Structure formats: structure tokens, C-alpha cells
Amino acid sequence: MKLILLGAPGAGKGTQATRIAEKYGVIHISTGDIFRANIKGGTEIGKLAKSYIDAGKLVPDSLTCDIVKDRLEKDDVKAGYLLDGFPRSLYQAEELSKFADIDLCLNFEVDTALIMDRICGRRVCACGESYHVSTLGGKTTCAKCGGELYQREDDNPETVKARLDTYNVMTAPLIAYYAAQNKLATVVCGTKTPDEVFEAVCEVLDKLD
Ligand code: AMP
């Protein structure tokens, strides 16, 4: 199973990706996580990516595509993978088609009015879990692994606004791109809980298996 997860920032892609990877035994590849790990490690890639991420812009296509291409050459992805946050532009999608044959693009449709609160209230754990402050009751550690929760640097109103603009201009055209290839399935998130969204996701993916 080779999947793409598409959706605006805050659509819940990361949460669903963790669950899909667990249930279907596919490798979760998040370009955002790769960039954040590089920033933390102080690498050249991290230094370059940081200025774009802080501004809510896309890291240059060529660098991003090279990272994904290298990652997809590793043995562990042979049984399947899901790309979370890649491709994010038509150029990236075209490049991807040269080195990967994707089965399905899962598009998470969210109400953009909800996104600002969702993202600015988001607290994440290094293990991949994420929470909303309103549900934490003052807790600062992850219920799954006990790790310390933190707020991503780019989860602030100004950067979120820029990320949404970037999504609308650069990434949203991918919906039509994959629909034209009959490779698109849309999950409408609305006010659904993560469990309910995951149920809808499984309905789609079980037909693929
Ligand atoms: P994410 O964790 O997916 O929300 O990504 C965080 C940030 O990393 C984005 O706002 C971009 O600046 C950068 N990024 C992640 N994936 C990509 C990509 N496929 N192309 C370009 N930039 C990306």
C-alpha cells in the first residue's frame, strides 16, 4: 500500500498517519518531521529549511524531492508507506510520479474556520501524538509515552496564516491532479472526532487491501 495524505495544516494528517501506519503496517514518512529532526540536529538541511518553515513557506522543491527519493530507496518501505505532507506542489507530484507508483491519495477535508484554533492550541509529543490544550486539563505530558508535550514553533497565528495561504495556492491543486488520475479519496472531517475520521479512513483503505 502506497499512500499520500493530503490536507490543509491542522487537518489531522499526522494523527491519522500514526494510526494508519500501526494498523496497516506501512512506514510513515513525514517531510515535516524530517525537517524538524534536521533543525534539531543542526544539519545544513535543517539550517536551510528553518527559514522557510518559520515563514510558513515551502522548503524548495528540489531539496524536498531529493529527501523523499532517498527515503523511498530504503529497504523498509518495500512493504508500503504513507507520505504525510508530501507532495505539496504540482512540481513535487510530477517528480514523485517518476520514482514512485502511488495507489491512493487520501484527502482530508476540513473547515478552514476551525484550523486556526486547532493548530494554535496544538501540543505535540516527540512520539508523534498530538493533543489540543482544551482536552489536556493542564497536563503537560503525553498520555501514550509520558514524554513532555511542546508547541511547534510554526504553530503561531502569523505562521499558520501563511501556511494556509501556501496550502491554498500551492497544494490544493493536487486534489484535482489526483482526482484526474482516479487516485483520490476524500474524507470529510467536519466535526468528527479522530476516531470517527479513522473509521472513515479504514473503510476506504480496506477496499484497497
Ligand atoms: P508539516 O509538519 O507537514 O506541517 O510541515 C511543516 C513545514 O515543513 C511546512 O510548513 C513546510 O515549511 C515544510 N514542509 C513539509 N513538507 C514539505 C514539502 N513537501 N515541501 C516543502 N516544504 C515542506
Distance CA 117, CA 166 (A): 18
- Is 13 close to ligand 1, i.e. is its CB under 6 Å away? no
- Is 35 close to ligand 1, i.e. is its CB under 6 Å away? yes
Q: Given the CA of residue 35, which atom of ligand 1 is nearest to it?
A: 8
pLDDT mean across residues, the chain = 94
Residue bearing the CA closest to ligand 1, atom 14: 32
pLDDT for residue 131: 92
The count of C-alpha atoms lying within 13 angstroms of the C-alpha of 165, restricted to the half-sphere facing its C-beta, is 9
pLDDT for residue 128: 85
pLDDT for residue 209: 65
Residue 3 has phi, psi (to 5 degrees) of -120, 155
Active-site residue, 13 included: yes
Q: What is the domain partition of the chain in residue ranges?
A: 2-111+171-205
Write out the three cell numbers for 7: 490536507
Q: How far is the CA of 46 from the centre of ligand 1 (A)?
A: 12
Its pTM stands at 0.91
Proportion of the chain above pLDDT 90, given as a percent:
87
List pLDDT tens digits, range 6-17.
Answer: 999 989 899 999
Considering the domain 2-111+171-205 in this protein, what is its CATH number? Answer: 3.40.50.300
